[in-house]
Amino acid sequence: MAGDLTDATVDAMGEAAEPLSRIIAPYGKYFSTGNHEYYTGDVENWFKLLESFDFHILHNSNVKIHDKSDDKQWICMAGVDDIQADQIGYTGHGMNLKQAYEGCDEKHSTILVAHQPKAAKFALDSDYKIQLVLSGHTHGGQMYPIIWLAYFLNPYLSGLYQHGASSYVYVSQGSVYYGFPLRLGSYPEIPNIVLRSV
């Protein structure tokens, strides 16, 4: 889950999040913050709630997902705090790619969860070997004419992009909206990405 789960506190919306506890994921459930978690002023309580639902919180950290048939084979699932977190003034929060990548290596694939496409581009332009970045934030522009603003303010708008020879970014349009309950020229989505060895 690449952030922007909520615009409200746990007291206000925690019960509405309860269906997330019923998600069955053999390789685990993962969450990294978006900018809206920081707008709530309740990030730590959201972390606690999601951990109670068996989510791994990728707070500038990573988890190694091992192949169940071969423990030597693994993928590094890393996640960074939203790129705006430190600007909003959250002590101990803010995008730290070096910390998130620590323990990953070039011999194993790395997937990075980075909410904003700007953070995705920053990560892929770095010296770290990251094969796939999962982002969101843009809502695919949500509606005309805002879609043009989203296009010009973000290096990636929606869908799959190749970066260099062997790295990719997928920007989800998200499942709801921001502000007006309207979409025009974009659609809600919950992507289903299938990874295959090559």
Q: How far apart are CA 197 and CA 177, in angstroms?
A: 34
Residue with tokens 């011999």: 107
Domain count, the chain: 1
Inside any domain, residue 131? yes
Inside any domain, residue 39? yes
CATH number (domain holding residue 113): 3.60.21.10
Inside any domain, residue 157? yes
- Under a CB-based contact definition with an 8 Å cutoff, are residues 155 and 171 in contact? no
Q: Closest Cα partner for 125 from 112, 138, 109, 136?
A: 112
- Under a CB-based contact definition with an 8 Å cutoff, are residues 143 and 180 in contact? yes
In this prediction, residue 19 carries a pLDDT of: 97
Q: How is residue 6 annotated by DSSP?
A: -
pLDDT (tens place) for every residue of the chain, 198 residues total: 999 999 899 999 999 999 999 999 999 999 999 988 998 889 999 999 999 999 999 999 999 999 877 778 899 999 999 999 988 888 899 999 999 999 999 999 999 999 999 999 999 999 999 999 999 887 765 666 777 677 778 888 888 999 999 999 999 988 776 666 767 777 788 999 998 877
Inside any domain, residue 185? no
Look up the domain containing 164 and give its range. Answer: 10-171
Q: Work out whether strand 70-79 and strand 61-67 pair parallel, antiparallel, or are unpaired.
A: antiparallel
In this prediction, residue 142 carries a pLDDT of: 60
Inside any domain, residue 117? yes
pTM for the full model?
A: 0.91
In this prediction, residue 182 carries a pLDDT of: 66
Inside any domain, residue 5? no
Inside any domain, residue 64? yes
Inside any domain, residue 154? yes
